[in-house]
Amino acid sequence: MGKQFNIIIVGGGIAGLATAIALRAPNRKITVLEQSSLNREIGAIISLQPNASKIVEQTWDLAKTLKEKGSMADEGFQVYNLDGELQMRIPLSTTEKYGAERMLYHRIDLHDALKKRATSADWPGESAEIRVSSRVTRCDCEEGVVYTQTGEKFQADLIIGADGIKSVIRDSVLDTKVRALRTGHSAYRMTLPVDKLLADCKTFCDVVDPRAPYTTMVMAHSRRMIMGPARNGSVYSIVAMVPDEDMNEDSTNTSWTTHGDIPKMKETFADFPEWARGPLSCVADGEVGLWQLRDIDPLPTWTRGRVVLVGDAAHAMLPTQGQGASQAIEDAEAVGAFYADLDIDKDGLEKIKEINQKIFACRYKRATTIQQYSRQAAKPATEEGSVKIKMSPSEFMDYNCNYGGALEWTKRQEEEMAAKEAEDKVVEDISKMKIVEKEVPAQEVVA
């Protein structure tokens, strides 16, 4: 057996765990360095779009595990206006069109399934090791070294920066501090037992069946509620977006989340239909969180030396299309695909740099486009003072969901580029063509 391919992943969120899964192979040592104790994933639902659920459930074979935890295929969007009238019902049976369904999971279940898939010896390839309470403070990208807060030093052939929107690895890659941007939006988040809703929120349950696999939205000009079930319809999750609460970062720069003030939240949604406000009265104090939503501008690069960024560290985006984690999963699959054939006995730093550039080239345009679509989807849903909804939650679905993995995408991009070059060449050739004017014989000239 030859040399071992040594990989460090900084961050054990969805991006880091997914990349550990994608990189699993014989004779590889994969270490995930995670700053927390890794038991704090929030109790909300997360939807994975078909482009990502296909990778998680089919490529990584987690459909059964997630089904056992109560995963649900979303059957559609139903969109209501401020008057409580149904404006759109968009059925979502996406397997035929995109090869997979839009899936609803409890975040804890998805995180646990990814963690087990990355670390369990039951799956092929070397299992990854997770070292918790390991906060990385800086990174030497060329040497492939990361340093932790406790003074430990880890060296690797490849370093994955999966440390989220406040990434320190990104600062080392770009040699500058990138600050996450306020987007003007905050979101209250809460999860309720469906039994409680059925017992205490009859007006709501008369309009929306909280057990049914549907995503329900109520949209006003600058506020919206996005709701749906998880765990076989036993829990119901609500995200209520509001104009920015203007929360100030604390001096240690650790949190943009805070305790949601229930009376204030109810006041903010006071003009929403009575049935839609029902669940807001059902939550108990301490069960509502308030997130300030931030994203980042597209970065000039995601890679330097032995390091490549994935997930929110590379392209944090607004949650308005449910694509943040979905793009992280696409990144992970791309890292796995491009590193599949690396031979660490033969291939050195130059090859690693070349592969990291290929990952960036494959992922950048797509993730950046989806990042921009997510900003677009956050724009006011109606004209000021009107209840008519002018946006559709399925607007960008074809671009977002029509995805068959990194290698297929690269091929598609190359074909598109070749077609464009051929077209440009035809235009250039035509413009170069001399217009040969036919000389008219003298006798034909009519005086």
Ligand X SMILES: Cc1cc2nc3c(=O)[nH]c(=O)nc-3n(C[C@H](O)[C@H](O)[C@H](O)COP(=O)(O)OP(=O)(O)OC[C@H]3O[C@@H](n4cnc5c(N)ncnc54)[C@H](O)[C@@H]3O)c2cc1C
Instruction: Choose among 166, 134, 178: nearest CA to 153.
Output: 134
Q: Is 322 in the site for ligand X (CB under 6 A)?
A: yes
Q: Is 72 in the site for ligand X (CB under 6 A)?
A: no
Q: How many CA atoms lie within 13 A of 159 on its CB side?
A: 30
Q: In whole angstroms, give the CA distance from residue 312 to residue 333.
A: 15
Q: Site residues for ligand X, window 236-275 (CB under 6 A)? A: 239
- Which phi and psi (to 5°) does residue 441 adopt? -55, 145
Q: Site residues for ligand X, window 10-29 (CB under 6 A)? A: 10-16
| Region from 46-54, 205-213, 341-349, 381-389 binding ligand X, contact rule CB under 6 A | 46-54
Token pair of 119 as six digits: 């670390």
Token pair of 40 as six digits: 């704090």
- Which phi and psi (to 5°) does residue 238 adopt? -130, 130
Nearer to ligand X, 157 or 331 (CB): 331
| Region from 44-52, 260-268, 299-307, 415-423 binding ligand X, contact rule CB under 6 A | 44-52
Tell me whether residue 141 is exposed, middle or buried, using C-beta atoms within 10 angstroms of its C-beta: 0 to 12, 13 to 18, 19 or more.
buried
Q: Site residues for ligand X, window 179-198 (CB under 6 A)? A: 187, 189
Shortest Å, Cβ 36 to ligand X:
5
Q: Which of 278, 311, 336, 393 binds ligand X (CB under 6 A)?
A: 311
Please report how the helices 324-339 and 349-377 are oriented relative to each other, as an axis angle in degrees rounded to 10. Answer: 160
Contacts of 24 (CB under 8 A, 6+ apart): 30, 118, 123, 124, 125, 126, 127, 128
Q: Is 319 in the site for ligand X (CB under 6 A)?
A: yes
Other CB atoms within a 10 A radius of the CB of residue 372 amount to 14
Q: Is 326 in the site for ligand X (CB under 6 A)?
A: yes
Nearer to ligand X, 190 or 205 (CB): 190
Beta strand residue intervals within 201-349, DSSP E: 215-219, 224-230, 235-243, 257-259, 289-295, 303-304, 307-309
Q: Is 325 in the site for ligand X (CB under 6 A)?
A: yes
Q: Is 162 in the site for ligand X (CB under 6 A)?
A: yes
Q: Site residues for ligand X, window 91-150 (CB under 6 A)? A: 135-136
Q: Is 33 in the site for ligand X (CB under 6 A)?
A: yes
Nearer to ligand X, 48 or 262 (CB): 48
Nearer to ligand X, 47 or 216 (CB): 47
* Number of chain residues interacting with ligand X (CB under 6 A): 34
Binding residues for ligand X, rule: CB under 6 A, are: 10-16, 33-36, 46-48, 135-136, 162-164, 168, 187, 189, 239, 291, 293, 311-312, 319, 322-326, 328
